[in-house]
Structure 1
Amino acid sequence: MKIDQSKSNGSVLSYMPQLDGLRSFAIFGVLITHYLQPDDPLRSGFPWGWLGVRLFFVLSGFLITGILISCRQKVDNELISPWKIIQNFYVRRCLRLFPIYYLYLALVVLIYPQTRSYIVAFIFYGQNFLFAAQPETFTTIISLTSHLWALAVEAQFYLILPWLVIFLPKRWLVPMLLAMILAAPVLRLTLIAYGYTVHQVNMMTPSHFDTLCMGGLLSALMASGRSGLPLVKKLMSIGLWIGIPLLLAYIVGRWFGLDSRISIVFAESGAGLVFVWLIKQASEGIKGFPGSVLNQKFLAYCGTVSYGLYIFHFEVLYVFQKHLLSGFNVTSINNSRILLPIYTIAAIAVAAIFWEVVEKPMNRRKRHFSLK
């Protein structure tokens, strides 16, 4: 979930360190949800992991759209072929995402043979459809790969976005993104009305078009320069005055056990609006104490390795619970709050190893497939 960043002519391309800080908070939210016991009030009282994944979606939409808009400018100036951009974009995505993803799948299949009958879905990034069609697979031994549904959603979004940004008339991009944003809650409501569960709706990529495209919309408006500035300000106001109430309504509704089928329709949009506002502030550099927190080197590093951390954190939990704790005869430690920092440190260590050994070397190869 780490993306190249740069900034040129208003597009998102330069490195913005505070976005790595936000990325680290997103992954820590996921770790809290997966490492604490389900009945722990700290976990059950707040949707940490749900929010973390939505923050990843908005960040991805923001950064990927910015990169593609910069590429579109080069295409319009006849500096590079649009087909070369498409080719190099997908090669770079493959170099970034495939190595540790498929390595993780190989390890899971090798260690847990019962997952082999489902592996084809994961090879082609179709696990979200598998989990929607067969919800029971989400909670069985294959749950070691259940968190990969979010990667499938992002991968499927990447199949769509480059074609829109590179080939659509430029004046159509913002309306198209707005249409996709507005269509997402309508789709969620329609699917629920037809009897699909919240879980099934959540697995569908179009259900997340609002969070994915809100980040893209912010990037497109920022790239418009002065003409887009009034719309950016309006988007920021909407993020505060509409996004926050929608998100709070979802969180409070969870506390009182309100019908999740209704709240989930608007909660995704609320989260997207709030995170768009937050990302805009972080992209410009938040000042004061919040900014100093986001600028911490440790958080920046965790953001850098967040993709590997996301992929491997479930396996770290499983190995600890099934092998290490029982092997050292300390299974009596059942307080997940005590184990949370242990799991987290171990997961960061694993992610750091794979970053140095696999991810960083593969990232260097991207220089052969330039988008400039």
Structure 2
Amino acid sequence: MDHIKQLDSIRAMAVLLVIITHWFPEGHWLNSYTSVFNGVDIFFVLSGFLITTILLVNRNEAERIGTSKLTVFRNFFTRRALRIFPIYYLTLVVLYLLGPLTESNIRENYLYFFTYTSNLYFFEQQQWDGMLSHLWSLAVEEQFYLVWPWAMLYLNKPYLLPFIFISILIGITSQLFLLNQDFGDILTFACFDAFGLGALLAWVRVYQPSFLPKLFKYSLALALICFGLQILRVMGQSSYLVLPSRTLTAVCTLSVIAGIILYKERQLPVLSKVFGNSSLLFIGKISYGIYLYHLMIPYFSYGLLGSVNAYFWPLGSELFIFYLVRLENFCLLILLSALSWRLLEYPILRFKTYFEYQNDKLYQPRKILL
């Protein structure tokens, strides 16, 4: 299954939106963009699409050549673990050792973070926990990985599409039901609409590729409506909303991914100039590290940067220093994430070759671009 590089640009855009959300005050003009499109929700749709595509393609091949679906699941989860676990647990160990310096309760509540259940911790406590707060989405992703593969691998094929639609409805209704419940939208089942919409695109891509042009056309029309509804929500006209913000963002994201898949081989200006931008592609490649470290770096760097800036920029205005500190933190974040990718993540990912989905010599994979 070949890699679609433009999807890295979507990752980059998503992680940049997350950084803006956490690094800039709520009323800042940049946060108007994050209010329309939430970066975490974009990640959820992308995960739903990629994971479901991988599972369905390898399910089909396992059935064709007569290998075990359990092997597919085992290798899928092992490959996911090689991608996610190393720097996640290394980061947690470092933060645990630093203890009070992190200004968090990691030592008292380490079990939640080490078991990928921090979203339940934040829901129970009804509050965030400093530099650890963003880990809720990684917990949701991991819980999704534990549940979703079983359905995609073992449900009878006629039930796959209904199951995906039911999952989308569960996500939508859960958010509506928990609308007045603080932190209700960080529970895993409340994110199933985003995962499910990505999975819907994957199902079409694998089983009904001829329908992809129509899906793109319909989703584009819906995306324009959803974008308008998001604008109304940001403007305070929430009475017009009939769907949660996450669902609106997910529909828009589905439309973009569908367009990339459909027109990836054509030299369209938008695809080549925006989604083919080398800087975005690089940020997307190291986006996992960027997301993991982005809320931690400012906690440790602001004091040092304040002293350095006061020495080199003694006459700098408050507004100048405000943006300078964030630019410096962004450079530190990119540097740390690039080193993390080159020295830790990439070398570990080479072990994926020992966990191929199909090891049978008769295996000739159908080429699905990812």
The two structures have a TM-score, normalised by structure 1, of: 0.86
- Residue 134 (str. 1) matches residue 100 (str. 2): no
Indicate the residue corresponding to 1:276 in structure 2: 254
Shift of 1:83: 1.2
Q: Provide the C-alpha distance between the structure 2 equivalents of 1:258 and 1:277, rounded to a whole number of angstroms.
A: 23
- Residue 325 (str. 1) matches residue 310 (str. 2): no
Shift of 1:327: 5.5
1:251 alignment partner AA: I
Aligned residue for 2:65, secondary structure, equals coil
Indicate the residue corresponding to 1:17 in structure 2: 5
- Residue 157 (str. 1) matches residue 144 (str. 2): yes
CA deviation map 1:162-211 (0-9, x unaligned) = 1011111112111110111122111212223xx412xx221111111111
Indicate the residue corresponding to 1:289 in structure 2: 269
CA deviation map 1:59-107 (0-9, x unaligned) = 1111111111111012211342111111111111111100111111122
Structure showing the higher helix proportion among its residues: 1
Shift of 1:309: 0.6
Shift of 1:265: 4.4
Contact 1:238/1:273 (8 A) holds in 2 = no
State the percentage of identical aligned residues.
29
| Cα distance change of structure 1 residues 277 and 157 upon mapping to structure 2, 3 Å threshold | same
Q: 2:63 aligns with which of 76, 87, 102?
A: 76
- Residue 209 (str. 1) matches residue 192 (str. 2): yes
Indicate the residue corresponding to 1:266 in structure 2: 244
Indicate the residue corresponding to 2:113 in structure 1: 122
Q: Provide the C-alpha distance between the structure 2 equivalents of 1:215 and 1:258, rounded to a whole number of angstroms.
A: 25
Indicate the residue corresponding to 1:101 in structure 2: 88
Q: Provide the C-alpha distance between the structure 2 equivalents of 1:243 and 1:257, rounded to a whole number of angstroms.
A: 18
Aligned residue for 2:27, secondary structure, equals coil
Q: How many residues align?
A: 346
1:254 alignment partner AA: V
- Residue 256 (str. 1) matches residue 236 (str. 2): yes
Shift of 1:322: 3.1
Aligned residue for 1:106, secondary structure, equals helix
Contact 2:35/2:234 (8 A) holds in 1 = no
CA deviation map 1:2-23 (0-9, x unaligned) = xxxx2xxxxxxx1101111111
CA deviation map 1:271-316 (0-9, x unaligned) = 1111111001122417433222211222111111000110011112
Shift of 1:241: 2.6
Indicate the residue corresponding to 1:242 in structure 2: 222
Alignment of 1:293-372 (within 5 A): 293-326=274-307, 329=310, 334-335=318-319, 336-372=322-358
Q: Provide the C-alpha distance between the structure 2 equivalents of 1:229 and 1:99, rounded to a whole number of angstroms.
A: 40
Aligned residue for 1:326, secondary structure, equals helix
Contact 1:69/1:165 (8 A) holds in 2 = yes
Contact 1:58/1:215 (8 A) holds in 2 = yes
Shift of 1:222: 1.1
Aligned residue for 2:91, secondary structure, equals helix
Shift of 1:24: 0.9
Q: Structure 1: which 5+ runs fail to align?
A: 1-5, 7-13
Contact 2:305/2:325 (8 A) holds in 1 = no
Indicate the residue corresponding to 2:363 in structure 1: none
Q: 2:97 aligns with which of 93, 110, 125?
A: 110
Aligned residue for 1:46, secondary structure, equals helix
Indicate the residue corresponding to 1:3 in structure 2: none
Alignment of 1:181-196 (within 5 A): 181-192=168-179, 195-196=180-181
| Cα distance change of structure 1 residues 49 and 253 upon mapping to structure 2, 3 Å threshold | closer
| Cα distance change of structure 1 residues 334 and 321 upon mapping to structure 2, 3 Å threshold | farther
| Cα distance change of structure 1 residues 111 and 342 upon mapping to structure 2, 3 Å threshold | same
Alignment of 1:51-90 (within 5 A): 51-90=38-77
- Residue 219 (str. 1) matches residue 199 (str. 2): no
CA deviation map 1:108-160 (0-9, x unaligned) = 22223342101110111000011111122x0xxx3201111111111111111
| Cα distance change of structure 1 residues 257 and 175 upon mapping to structure 2, 3 Å threshold | closer
Aligned residue for 1:348, secondary structure, equals helix
Deviates more, 1:247-256 or 1:151-160: 247-256
Indicate the residue corresponding to 1:9 in structure 2: none
Shift of 1:359: 0.4
| Cα distance change of structure 1 residues 106 and 265 upon mapping to structure 2, 3 Å threshold | farther
- Residue 42 (str. 1) matches residue 33 (str. 2): no
Q: Provide the C-alpha distance between the structure 2 equivalents of 1:148 and 1:188, rounded to a whole number of angstroms.
A: 20
2:301 alignment partner AA: F
Q: Provide the C-alpha distance between the structure 1 equivalents of 2:346 and 2:257, rounded to a whole number of angstroms.
A: 25
Output the aligned Cα RMSD. Answer: 2.2
CA deviation map 1:206-235 (0-9, x unaligned) = 11111111111101111114xx533x3443
Aligned residue for 1:112, secondary structure, equals helix
